Structure 1
Amino acid sequence: MRSFTTSDLNKQVGEITDAARKAPVIITHHRKPKFVLMSVEHYDRLRSADDPRRAYGPGETPEDISARFAAELDRLARGEGYDDED
């Protein structure tokens, strides 16, 4: 991911927004990442319920996903699916 400073943003807004149209860019302040600039289309894809990478907050996880996690945790708790080399 490309990175620019807040100073760059003031001087090169056209170049930075062109880069952000293609892929998200990081904006740093005092050498630390502070912001991400991206196209609205990219943001909408991230926010889409169809995106399998979607993150859920506490209490937001759909029941079907929650049930799959619970089943997998139960399976692992029973010791199935991996080798214990102890």
Structure 2
Amino acid sequence: MRSFSLTDLSNKSGEVVEAAYTGPVDITRRGKRKFVLMTADQYDRLRKAEDPRKVYAAGETPPEIAALFEAEAGRLSRGEGYDD
């Protein structure tokens, strides 16, 4: 990922924007990353990306996920999978 300072953003805005067309660009202040510049399309794709982490309330867990948990709980209750 390319990196530019806030000063670069002011003085070389065209170069910074051109770099952002190819991928996200770090914008730094005093050597520390403070912002990321990206195209609207890149941002929209990032926002639409599904987060694989899910939380379910009791009774709402999909059957296929509940079956995985039940199988793993059974395996562990039989002592399988522990490193001795």
Is TM (by shorter chain) over 0.5?
Answer: yes
Provide the TM-score with structure 2 as the length reference: 0.65
Structure index of larger Rg: 2
Residues matched between the structures, number: 75
Alpha-carbon distance between aligned partners in 2 of 1:77 and 1:32, rounded to the nearest angstrom? 45
AA in 1 matched with 2:30: H
Please report the RMSD computed on the Cα atoms of aligned residues, expressed in angstroms. Answer: 3.2
Alpha-carbon distance between aligned partners in 2 of 1:3 and 1:37, rounded to the nearest angstrom? 10
Look up the SS of the partner of 2:10 in the other structure: helix
Q: What stretches of structure 2 of length at least 5 have no aligned partner?
A: none
Q: 1:55 to 1:77 in 2, by over 3 A?
A: same
Q: What stretches of structure 1 of length at least 5 have no aligned partner?
A: none
What is the match of residue 3 of structure 1? 3
Q: How does 1:1-86 map to 2 (within 5 A)?
A: 1-48=1-48, 51-52=49-50, 54=51, 61=54, 67=61, 71=66, 79=76, 83-86=81-84
Provide the TM-score with structure 1 as the length reference: 0.64
Query: Percent identity over the alignment?
Result: 37
How far apart are 1:55 and its partner, in Å? 7.3
